[in-house]
Amino acid sequence: MKILKDRILKDGKNLGGGILKVDGFVNHQVDPVLMNEAGKDFAKRFKDIGATKILTAEISGIAPAVTTGIYMDLPVVYARKRKPITMPDQVFLTLAPSHTKGRTVELIVSPEYLGSGEKVLIIDDFLASGATILGLVRLAELAGAEVVGVGALIEKGFEGGRAELEKMGFRVESLACIASLDDNTITFCD
């Protein structure tokens, strides 16, 4: 997606160690026009998969998931990292390592909003090693749902997450794939 790649080159920062800072338009401050275009693109790519629900992780996946939900006319469920008092005692919970947080985080979904027979499209901000997305897959499986596709705004192609997900049979789409963050540069996949 050209608009996303251009924005990454303009405002993204390679912090080294495989970290790409995009918090000026994706993670902390959100560019709603860019997220709208991302949602439109994801909806076009996944229009024929038969999804009944979109699943993402708190917090950075919410914006692209919601705009995708608008274009696909689907509800969006996001995995919480803390259990609020309004959530039932029995929940779907898994752990996933967070590269940017430097620790393991909980991913929690209420069974009120994710259930057996759902066809789930996972949308997230990044696909790197695939750890967070695999956590979302586990949540969907715990609920008895079927994952029918995975979309990421930005893929770090050099971290191998796509291969892990495709090995499990998932269709994976990314809007911008980064081949390398070496030598303080940002290089996109072909």
- Each of the 190 residues of the chain gets a pLDDT tens digit; together they read 999 999 999 999 999 989 999 999 999 999 999 999 999 999 999 999 999 999 999 889 999 999 999 999 999 999 988 777 777 688 888 888 776 667 888 899 999 999 999 999 999 999 999 999 999 999 999 999 999 999 999 999 999 999 999 999 999 999 999 999 998 899 999 8
Residue 22: closest CA among 33, 41, 7:
7
**Phi, psi (rounded to 5 degrees) for 141:** -65, -40
The domain limits of the chain are 2-188
Tokens of 71: 């274009």
pTM of structure: 0.94
How far apart (Å, rounded) are the C-alpha atoms in residues 37 and 33? 6
**d(Cα 132, Cα 108) in Å, to the nearest integer?**
12
Q: Which two tokens stand for residue 169?
A: 């049979």
Rounded distance between C-alpha atoms, residue 164 and residue 167, angstroms: 5
Q: Which fold has domain 2-188?
A: Rossmann fold (3.40.50)
CA gap 174, 128 in Å, rounded: 11
